[in-house]
């Protein structure tokens, strides 16, 4: 997809959101660990995208900037829907959680590529998390919200991958190998942190920590290839984190 197609897609979804009234039911029963977990994702989705928008502005492409603004608005709509889920479960939405602070610190001061590489960690985690929330909560309303957020996240990933691939196209192989290795390390760390932080909720959704981490890394692998190319992604230096993790977590091979 080129950037005009991405922008058209974001515009179409913004129109659909504007035409829709979000249901706000009450009286849901969710396990306490799951409520705390959804609260943290709600806070994490609620960024104003300041540094991403600044980096996209510096990139100098008004079409891309327009798409990024709509992307940020879409993430904020996730925060609104998750806040509805939190209230549905009888709790109150929260503001920033420490994991967001880490993301903000990693991203601050970097260019658009670093913004997107870091943002992608959250997107990949989101793919697996919202799928688990859709399939494992046993609650129709929560499943509907999670399913619709998941559908958005599945569109965000190719949007960012296209831009990242473009961003690294002129980088020499050695630089792409180093960036791929760093990205693997960050993704592995992020998946582990989330699995520890949200372990109780994942268990309530029928997903072990080990399985969550293994699934996130399995989703991630083709993205590394998509951004950095086969040769950089296959270079030995990018492999150790996954191999080490494979030994530690012994990921299940069935889906």
Residues near Fe ion (CB under 5 A) are: 45, 75, 78, 123, 153, 156
Which residue, 126 or 181, has its beta carbon nearer to Fe ion? 126
Q: Indicate the residue among 80 and 91 with the shorter CB distance to Fe ion.
A: 80
**C-alpha distances in angstroms, 44 versus 5, 96, 178, 189, 242?**
27, 7, 28, 17, 26
Query: Can you give the length of the chain in residues?
Result: 255
CA terminus-to-terminus distance, the chain: 29
159 or 183, CB closer to Fe ion? 159
Provide the minimum distance between the beta carbon of 75 and Fe ion in the complex, in angstroms, as a whole number.
Answer: 5
CB of 124 to Fe ion, least distance (A): 10
Q: How far is the CB of 14 from Fe ion (least distance, A)?
A: 14
Residues 6 or more apart whose Cβ sits within 8 Å of residue 183: 117, 120, 224, 227, 228
Please identify, using beta-carbon distances, which residue of 30 and 122 lies nearer to Fe ion.
122
CA distance linking residue 59 with residue 226, whole number of Å: 21
What are the tokens at 131? 């799928």
Cβ of residue 86: shortest distance to Fe ion, in angstroms? 15
Residue 68 or 89: which CB sits closer to Fe ion? 68
Residue whose CB is less far from Fe ion, 75 or 115: 75
**In whole angstroms, what is the distance from residue 204 CA to residue 35 CA?**
11
Q: How many CB atoms lie within 10 A of CB 42?
A: 22
Nearest approach in angstroms of CB 78 to Fe ion is: 4
Q: How far is the CB of 126 from Fe ion (least distance, A)?
A: 5
Q: Which ranges in 50-172 belong to alpha helices (H)?
A: 50-58, 62-88, 98-107, 112-136, 140-168
Q: In angstroms, what CA-CA distances link 25 with 87, 113, 138, 185?
A: 8, 40, 16, 41
Check if the beta carbon of residue 174 is closer than 8 Å to that of residue 232: no
Report, in Å, the least distance between residue 246 CB and Fe ion. 27
Taking alpha carbons only, the member of 185, 169, 184, 142 closest to residue 228 is 169
CB nearer to Fe ion: pick between 36 and 156: 156
């Amino acid at each position: 997809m080129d950037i005009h197609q991405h922008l058209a897609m974001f515009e179409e979804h913004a129109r659909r959101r504007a035409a829709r009234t979000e249901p706000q039911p009450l009286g849901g029963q969710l396990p306490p660990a799951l409520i705390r977990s959804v609260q943290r994702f709600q806070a994490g989705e609620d960024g104003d995208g300041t540094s991403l928008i600044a980096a996209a502005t510096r990139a100098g492409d008004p079409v891309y900037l327009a798409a990024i603004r709509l992307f940020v608005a879409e993430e904020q709509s996730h925060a609104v829907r998750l806040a509805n889920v939190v209230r549905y479960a009888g709790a109150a939405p929260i503001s920033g959680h420490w994991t967001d602070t880490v993301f903000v610190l990693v991203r601050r001061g970097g260019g658009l590529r670093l913004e997107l590489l870091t943002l992608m960690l959250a997107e990949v985690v989101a793919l697996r998390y919202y799928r688990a929330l859709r399939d494992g909560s046993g609650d129709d309303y929560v499943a509907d919200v999670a399913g619709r957020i998941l559908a958005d996240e599945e569109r965000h990933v190719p949007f960012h991958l296209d831009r990242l691939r473009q961003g690294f196209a002129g980088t020499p192989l050695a630089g792409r190998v180093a960036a791929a290795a760093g990205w693997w390390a960050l993704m592995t760390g992020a998946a582990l942190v989330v699995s520890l932080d949200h372990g109780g909720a994942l268990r309530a959704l029928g997903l072990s920590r080990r399985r969550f981490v293994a699934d996130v890394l399995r989703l991630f692998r083709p993205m590394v290839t998509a951004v950095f190319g086969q040769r950089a992604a296959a270079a030995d230096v990018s492999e150790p984190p996954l191999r080490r993790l494979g030994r530690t977590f012994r990921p299940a091979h069935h889906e």
